[in-house]
Structure 1
Amino acid sequence: MTSTAASSAEPSGPWDLVLSHVSLSRRRGGERIVLWLNGSGAPGWSVAYTDRPVLDGSGEAVDLPGEIFLDIYVSGTVPAGDGYRGGRRVTAADPGRVSGLHVAGTFEGYTQVLAGIDGDRVPFRVRALRDPSRLVVDVGVGSSP
């Protein structure tokens, strides 16, 4: 089910997931953010809209294009160490409503990623998948980008 309301779920399995890769792509009916994770189990999450993108822990504002922002937390994670090699900024080759992503890092078992959204709130859907472990956030599902 898609909605603009906050969404959350608890992780299953050991808390040893490490963010390894982030991708953003255009899909039919919206865009897809995929957070790829190394480790076992399925990630938990908390995803909600916010008017102001800030870093968890410090409260520091993030300069990210967009009019509204999705604050994405993946739970059951540990600091990346040598795992995540991507940049802090992720952009789509063919952007739609998602103007970009900012990978904030891991703090107290949660990895934070912020997504800038152009325009108003649009419905989103969140799913945790296994083999390999990943968190999928479909944005703009059921709306016109």
Structure 2
Amino acid sequence: MERKIRYPEGAYDLSVTNVRMAEHDTFTRVVFDFSGTGMPGWWTNYSAQPAQQASGLPVEVAGDSFLEISLDGIALPPDAAVPGVEFGSFGGGGIVDEVVLTTIFEARAQFFIGMSGPPRNYSVTLLQEPTRVVVDLMH
């Protein structure tokens, strides 16, 4: 499963305002909702040992396999026009055991999606009106 990359567009003043999950027949969807201007980018990759960006400190995430999704174009919390979600766990649903926000560093919010079983094929899609990034994890 290859890394997926998309570069942000516009000002770096977005906030992630919600993280939600839904199970469907053939996939589990994780949705990251945004507020602010510009379009988010992302960098994704599976990680055997989840670690915080910049510090390299280990991250505790429930699950057997871990998809890192770093969302780009994010304002630092004190500078954000709209407050974003708190650091920590967002629970799970479907094959997702847990989603964890670790840090925001250099306009990048780092999340890990912990899931049951081996790494899965997945897609990442940008949707607009409202702005959101959708990760679909195949069952």
TM-score of the aligned structures, taking structure 1 as reference length: 0.86
Q: Which residue of 1 aligns with 2:122?
A: 124
- Supply the distance in 1 between the matched residues of 2:127 and 2:94 (Cα, whole angstroms): 24
- Tell me which amino acid in the other structure corresponds to 1:20: T
**1:87 positional shift:** 5.7
**1:103 positional shift:** 1.0
Q: Which of 27, 36, 40 is equivalent to 1:39?
A: 36
- Supply the distance in 2 between the matched residues of 1:139 and 1:100 (Cα, whole angstroms): 13
- Tell me which amino acid in the other structure corresponds to 2:52: L
- Tell me which amino acid in the other structure corresponds to 1:115: I
| Percent of residue pairs identical | 26
Q: Which residue of 1 aligns with 2:83?
A: 83
Cα RMSD of the aligned pairs, angstroms, is 1.6
**1:40 positional shift:** 1.4
Q: Which residue of 1 aligns with 2:18?
A: 21
Q: Which residue of 1 aligns with 2:113?
A: 115
- Tell me which amino acid in the other structure corresponds to 1:27: H
The CA deviation string for residues 68-116 of structure 1, in whole angstroms up to 9 with x for no partner, is: 1000001111123461244611123xx3321111011310010111011
- Supply the distance in 2 between the matched residues of 1:79 and 1:25 (Cα, whole angstroms): 28
Q: How many residues matched?
A: 136
- Supply the distance in 1 between the matched residues of 2:111 and 2:85 (Cα, whole angstroms): 15
- Supply the distance in 1 between the matched residues of 2:97 and 2:46 (Cα, whole angstroms): 15
Residues 30, 138 of structure 1: 8 Å contact kept: yes
- Tell me which amino acid in the other structure corresponds to 1:44: G
- Tell me which amino acid in the other structure corresponds to 2:84: Y
TM-score of the aligned structures, taking structure 2 as reference length: 0.89
Consecutive unaligned residues in structure 2, runs of 5 or more:
none
Q: What SS does structure 1 have at the residue aligned with 2:77?
A: coil
1:55 aligns to 2:26 (yes or no): no
Consecutive unaligned residues in structure 1, runs of 5 or more:
none
- Supply the distance in 1 between the matched residues of 2:106 and 2:2 (Cα, whole angstroms): 24
1:11 aligns to 2:15 (yes or no): no
- Supply the distance in 2 between the matched residues of 1:46 and 1:87 (Cα, whole angstroms): 19
- Supply the distance in 2 between the matched residues of 1:72 and 1:111 (Cα, whole angstroms): 8
